Amino acid sequence: MRDIYLGDEYVPLFIVIGLVTRGLLLRYFTKTDVASVKVLTMGLVSFSPTVPDGINAWFFMHLTYLSVLLMYFPFSKLMHMPGVFFSPTRNMPCNTRAVRHVNPWNPPKQYTTYAEYEDNFRDAMAESGLPLEKQPEKAAAE
């Protein structure tokens, strides 16, 4: 029996598990100075990083897992996840019986009624012996 999952499909799972466990560890077991984390974050955003005291190694492990996940994300199957929000079944209302939906991208079509079709091809239809609603004018004149 063939395996359903490949080895590379477990990589994001392990990254997310590591990220979540480090986050829970930081939240409930080891305390991190939030003000120091804010100073570090603002330093990274402004491209002048400073590492203040009060930040333990668990936070940097958590930050490393987050950075690895963000680097891995565009090249993985996880990129299919945002496609749920672009699917037509999620974005369209389900009122097809109440409202006629017209695709705005399609150009308007020119329709020909049967009477117009018969007016255009009456002579050829009469020659081939097809039944007509109105007879050709040549036959009416005879």
Q: Which two tokens stand for residue 62?
A: 């958590």
pLDDT at 87: 76
Query: Is there a contact between 54 and 32 (Cβ–Cβ < 8 Å)?
Result: yes
Confidence (pLDDT) at 31: 83
CA gap 117, 58 in Å, rounded: 79
125, 132 contact by CB (below 8 A) = yes
Q: pLDDT tens for residues 19-59?
A: 999 999 988 998 888 899 999 999 999 999 888 888 889 99
What confidence score (pLDDT) does residue 17 get?
95
Nearest of 111, 109, 93 to residue 101 by alpha carbon? 93
Q: Which two tokens stand for residue 44?
A: 């990274």
C-alpha angle with apex 58: 53 to 64, nearest 5 degrees? 100
Q: What percentage of the chain exceeds 90 in pLDDT? A: 35
pLDDT of residue 105: 86
**Total residue length of the chain:** 142
What confidence score (pLDDT) does residue 40 get?
A: 92
Name the residue type at position 115: A
Mean pLDDT along residues 65-91: 84
pLDDT greater than 60 at residue 142: no
**Helix (H) / strand (E) containing 82:** none
